[in-house]
Amino acid sequence: MQSTHAERTTADERTTADEPTDSETAVPTSVAVPDDVSSPRGKLVYLYLATHGAVTEDELCDGLGMKRITLYSVLGTLREEGIVGRDDRRYVLN
């Protein structure tokens, strides 16, 4: 039994009207980390916030696989430097 061309389409060729376009997803394609952020963990937190927007501590811990005690230290430093702020219960880039 032979398959028709329509049956041989790849996943890349399949689209639906419900899928968001690139402009609707609004994920930056490149993010520059400020020179003020020197620690590797600080850079990870910065990049996570830059690509995910305002997030809770739980989201940061889960998303980065970072222990809460480590995250508190990193966020404290970033907040002291004015790079990160809080909006209600969420952390955001300033």
CATH topology classification for 5-93: Arc Repressor Mutant, subunit A (1.10.10)
- pTM for the predicted model, two decimal places: 0.69
Instruction: Tell me what pLDDT residue 1 has.
Output: 53
Instruction: Tell me what pLDDT residue 26 has.
Output: 61
Can you spell out the DSSP letters for the chain?
-PPPGGGG--GGG---TTSPPHHHH---S--PPPTT--SHHHHHHHHHHHHH-SB-HHHHHHHHT--HHHHHHHHHHHHHTTSEEEETTEEEE-
Instruction: Tell me what pLDDT residue 25 has.
Output: 54
Tell me: the pLDDT tens digits for 11-63? 455 544 555 555 555 666 788 899 999 999 999 999 999 999 999 999 999 99
Instruction: Tell me what pLDDT residue 48 has.
Output: 97
Instruction: Tell me what pLDDT residue 31 has.
Output: 84
